[in-house]
């Protein structure tokens, strides 16, 4: 099975657990709306690529780790889109949850997706109980306080914002968790994999800033110019278009070099170069070249 | 250490993990505001009482299980109080999080508390990795979809509400998790403990309905009459004041009888009778007697 299919199948298993005649139907629909169809599934694909480079000796655990990080990412998107944050009408080319359903269901769907991520991990590790605690710890640190994505978002409520911590928590944390969890799912020591995730997270953040400044909103599936509108920091503002693209390229090189020794190091390096090639929409990459 | 002190100490350990100079200070303050000082801590005390009746052979795991269920409960209160749900100004006699801080921080604090609950479990079970998966499963089922507290709240968005599922998910699920997790934390089979939690959950819901109809808002620390205002079901409306009190008493008897064989069955029965005696404020209990 291709890695994309493995991820979709693992997400389907997780979502199906939330669907029962005894549960409220609209919440189940909202959960499905939040997860399918996906975006690029960058984080779970990164997690899976690392696990495969480490031997992927327990594919059920790898699949759960990949699904869990995507569920956490989807949860963050649903809550970030709420009226009290970005007040976004569209996401991945569809109405956001609070627009398609209502605001209470958007809050609850985000909550339920966070819970589902940890449930997915717990359901998968019967055969390898020693791998559960590291995975839960990696993901809880990446999502919660003081340095996870919730903390990243919370910096926007501070009178003065620590830009380094803000970016690291808001985007870097989940990328670092993707690489660490991939290694942990395959039973490898995970801390050495953090550098790779952090570098890719920063590269992705710069790509996201570039898209926000210069992409076609229709192709992107969400509005552009949001950082300026909402007064959020943006790398293009700080470095200029060419400067930002240059930094992105240096981060990708550093990421590829940082990969720890493992059975599948060379194919992983190739996969990461391929993957980061899609960080920018084609036109934008050409425009910045 | 008394069980109350054990719970406060375990919560303090969990909260301290979220506090770091590198994290956003207001989120850390909001988390603390949401957890301290507590209400009656009924769910963690129930969890702890069951674990002690089962031998409490690994107190670190018991403490984590007790802290985790309170964190999940606090998360649900923070989100339930949001403008899009109850729009409550006060909780436990203090301003709610979105009033004391702001609405974004209330959403994020709830999210971070959910994450912290699972993190707390993972941090505690190094000595007993086999106990982590059951605990994560028990809590994720109790909080998520299709039958946990998120699902219970989501029933309020349905055009027709399944009252039995609504009450069971909104209140019963977390009580059932408290008793099951107490047993699981002590290494006992947990499913037999579900009946106790469900009966106590239903009893607590009736007590809550009674308080909403007849309590003194100042003593209660939150407004009364909310069910009528918000058009939510209330047992007093359905059964009358005496009828509701009678049902509450029958549920407590059934709960006490349901306790599975275990080393501390008799003291647990006594503890539960003592505990349920506090479900209603004194005046209301006398008024209904």
Write down the ipTM of this complex. 0.94
The DSSP element (H or E) to which A200 belongs, if any, is helix A194-214
Give A-chain residues touching B136 at CB under 8 angstroms.
118-119, 121-122, 132, 136
Inspect the interface and report whether the beta carbons of A154 and B121 lie closer than 8 Å. Answer: no
- Burial of B179-188, coded b for 16+ CB within 10 Å and e otherwise, reads bbbbbbbbbb
CA distance B99 to chain A (A): 14
Bridge partner residues of A224 (DSSP): none
Contact A148 B112 (CB under 8 A): yes
Instruction: Tell me the mean pLDDT in the region B273-278.
Output: 87
Q: What is the pLDDT of residues B11-54, one digit of tens each?
A: 999 999 999 999 999 999 999 999 999 999 999 999 999 999 99
Counted domains in chain B: 1
* Confidence tier at B180 by pLDDT (50, 70, 90): very high
Rg (CA), chain B: 18
**What pLDDT is stored for residue A92 in this prediction?**
93
Statement: residue A1 has pLDDT above 60: no
> What is the spatial distance between Cα B279 and Cα B287, in angstroms, rounded to a whole number?
14
Do strands B94-95 and A94-95 pair parallel, antiparallel, or not at all (unpaired)? unpaired
Q: How many CB atoms lie within 10 A of CB A231?
A: 7
Quick one: pLDDT band at residue B89, thresholds 50, 70, 90?
Answer: very high
The answer for B 180-219 residues in CB contact with A (under 8 A) is none
Highest mean pLDDT among A132-146, B163-177, B268-282: A132-146
φ, ψ at A205 (rounded to 5°): -65, -40
pLDDT per residue as tens digits for the range A244-266: 999 999 999 999 999 999 999 99
Which residue is it, tokens 């994309």?
Answer: A4
> Which residue segment(s) compose the domain that A274 sits in?
3-288
Query: Are A45 and A4 within 8 A, CB to CB?
Result: yes
Q: Does A22 touch chain B (CB under 8 A)?
A: yes
Say if residue B20 is exposed, middle or buried (CB neighbours under 10 Å; 0-12, 13-18, 19+). middle
Question: From the list A25, A137, A158, which residue is nearest B26 (CB)?
Answer: A158
Chain A positions in Cβ-Cβ contact with residue B102 (cut-off 8 Å): 157
Is the pLDDT confidence value at B1 over 60?
no
Distance from CA of A126 to the nearest CA of B (A): 8
How far apart, in whole angstroms, are the C-alpha atoms of residue A211 and residue A190?
Answer: 31
- Cβ–Cβ contact A85 with B under 8 A: yes
CB A203 within 8 A of CB A276: yes
Q: Could you tell me the CATH number of the domain that includes residue A9?
A: 1.10.600.10
Chain-chain contact of A132 with B137 (C-beta, under 8 angstroms)? no
A152 neighbors A169 (Cβ within 8 angstroms): yes
> Average pLDDT for residues A223-239, to the nearest whole number?
82
A-chain residue closest to B85, CA distance: A104
Residue B163 contacts A where some CB pair is shorter than 8 Å = no
Are B154 and A121 an interchain contact pair (Cβ–Cβ within 8 Å)? Answer: no
């Amino acid at each position: 099975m291709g890695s994309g299919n493995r991820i979709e199948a693992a997400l389907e298993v997780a979502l199906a657990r939330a669907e029962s005649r005894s549960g409220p139907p609209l919440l189940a629909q909202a959960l499905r709306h939040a997860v399918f169809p996906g975006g690029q599934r960058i984080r779970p694909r990164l997690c899976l690529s690392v696990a495969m480079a480490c031997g992927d000796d327990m594919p059920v655990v790898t699949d759960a780790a990949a699904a869990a990080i995507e569920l956490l990412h989807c949860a963050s998107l649903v809550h970030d889109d709420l009226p009290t944050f970005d007040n976004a009408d569209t996401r991945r080319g569809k109405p956001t949850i609070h627009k398609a359903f209502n605001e209470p269901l958007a809050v609850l769907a985000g909550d339920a997706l966070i819970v589902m991520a940890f449930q997915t991990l717990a359901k998968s590790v019967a055969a390898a109980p020693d791998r559960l605690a590291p995975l839960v710890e990696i993901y809880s640190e990446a999502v919660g306080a003081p340095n996870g994505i919730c903390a990243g978002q919370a910096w926007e409520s501070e009178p003065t914002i620590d830009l380094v911590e803000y970016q690291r928590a808001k985007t870097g944390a989940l990328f670092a968790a993707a690489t660490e969890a991939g290694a942990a799912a395959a039973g490898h020591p995970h801390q050495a994999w953090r550098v790779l995730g952090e570098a890719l997270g920063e590269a992705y953040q710069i790509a996201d800033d570039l898209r926000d400044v210069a992409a076609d909103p229709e192709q992107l599936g969400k509005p552009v110019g949001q950082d300026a509108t909402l007064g959020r920091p943006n790398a293009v503002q700080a470095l200029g278009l060419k400067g930002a693209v240059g930094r992105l390229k240096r981060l990708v090189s550093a990421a590829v070099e940082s990969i720890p020794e493992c059975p599948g190091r060379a194919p992983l390096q190739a996969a990461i170069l391929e993957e980061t090639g899609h960080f920018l929409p084609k036109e934008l990459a050409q425009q910045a070249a």
